[in-house]
Amino acid sequence: MIVGIGVDVVDIERFRRTIERTPRLRDKLFTEPERDMPIESLAARFAAKEAIAKALGSPGGMLWHDVTIRRATGQRPTIEAEGTVAATASDLGVRVFHLSLSHDGPVATAMVVAEG
C-alpha cells in the first residue's frame, strides 16, 4: 500500500548561491556523510529530503539530520531515516521508502514513494 508520494525540484545554481551566501546551511541541512559532496549531489539530496517530508504529509517537527541519503557506486540511492523522520514514518505505517534522484543541467529532482 502506498502511504504517500513526494516530489521536489531544486534549481542548482540558486541552491549554490544560497550555500555560498550562508555556509552554515551545509551543516544544518546535511549529515556528515553528505556534506562534502558536489553541489549537484547536495541539491538532489535536499530535493530528496523535501520529497520525503511531502510523502509523509509534511508534518512539522522533522529534523534535517534525521535522514541521510546514501548511494554506493552502482547501486540505487537509499534513505536512512532515524529520530523524528523514522518516528513519523512508523506512525504512518511506512515500511520502506523508494527514491529516485536526478540532476541534469540546471535542475536536481527527487521522487519518493513511502510504502506501507
Return the CATH architecture of domain 2-115. Alpha-Beta Complex (3.90)
Residues 6 or more apart whose CB falls under 8 angstroms from that of 73 comprise none
User: Distance of CA 31 to CAs 1, 15, 68, 71, 109, Å?
Assistant: 30, 17, 6, 14, 19
pLDDT score for 59: 81
pLDDT score for 4: 98
* Phi, psi at 60, each rounded to 5°: -75, 165
Cell of 86: 523514522
pLDDT tens per residue, the chain (116 residues)? 999 999 999 999 999 999 999 999 999 999 999 999 999 999 999 999 999 999 999 888 899 999 999 988 889 999 999 999 999 999 999 999 999 999 999 999 999 999 99
pLDDT score for 72: 81
Residues 110 and 112: their CA atoms lie apart, in Å, by 7
